[in-house]
């Protein structure tokens, strides 16, 4: 009986070793395939034309928006300047009227 057990254990060990060897072999194959695929990916040119076009489009839109905001700001600044000029004129007239005694 101990001989049968020993034989069974040895057979199981041999089978396990065979399975491990097959697994190692398959893992090595997978690694080689992955390395080859990585080499292909690294050596292939990147499709940057679409990205560059999109980037240029985004920059153009941003410049157009910035130009619009600058024009709006200049217009508001001019309006504020005109309003300030009117107020200064009103205050000067008031001071002149007070000094001259006019109403």
- Which residue ranges make up each domain of the chain? 1-44, 48-103
Q: Tell me the DSSP string of 46-71.
A: P-HHHHHHHHHHHHHHHHHHHHHHHH
- How far apart are the C-alpha atoms of 29 and 34, rounded to whole Å? 9
Provide the pLDDT for residue 47. 77
Provide the pLDDT for residue 13. 85
User: Does this model's pTM top 0.75?
Assistant: no
Residue 35 DSSP label: H
Per-residue pLDDT of the chain (103 residues; tens, 9 = 90+): 566 666 777 888 888 888 999 999 999 999 999 999 999 888 887 777 788 889 999 999 999 999 999 999 999 999 998 888 888 888 888 888 888 986 5
């Amino acid at each position: 009986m101990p001989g049968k057990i020993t034989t069974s254990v040895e057979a199981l060990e041999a089978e396990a070793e065979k399975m491990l060897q097959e697994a190692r072999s398959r893992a090595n194959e997978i690694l080689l395939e992955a390395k080859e695929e990585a080499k292909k990916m690294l050596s292939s040119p990147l499709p940057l034309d679409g990205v560059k076009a999109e980037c240029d489009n985004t920059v153009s839109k941003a410049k157009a928006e910035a130009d619009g905001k600058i024009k709006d700001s200049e217009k508001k600044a001019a309006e504020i300047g005109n309003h300030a000029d009117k107020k200064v004129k009103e205050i000067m007239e008031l001071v002149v009227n007070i000094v001259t005694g006019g109403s």
